[in-house]
Amino acid sequence: MSKFIWPIRVYYEDTDSGGIVYHANYLKFMERARTEWLRNLGFEQDQLRQELQVLFAVRSIEVDYKKPALFNDELDVVTEVERPRHASLVFSQRITRRSETKPEELVHAIVKVACIDANRMKPVPLPDTIKMEIQNVG
- 14, 16, 117, 128: which is the annotated catalytic residue? 16
Average pLDDT over residues 78-87: 93
pLDDT at 84 over 70: yes
Average pLDDT over residues 63-79: 98
Q: Where are the domains of the chain?
A: 4-137
Average pLDDT over residues 47-64: 96
DSSP designation for 126: P
Q: What is the pLDDT of residues 106-118, one digit of tens each?
A: 999 999 999 999 9
Domain 4-137 matching CATH 3.30.470.30: the answer reads: no
What pLDDT, on the 0 to 100 scale, is given for residue 21? 98
Average pLDDT over residues 24-50: 96
Verify whether residue 117 is a known catalytic residue: no
CB crowding 101-119: b at 16 or more within 10 Å, else e: eebeebbbbebbbbbbeee
Within 10 Å of residue 34's Cβ, how many Cβ atoms? 22
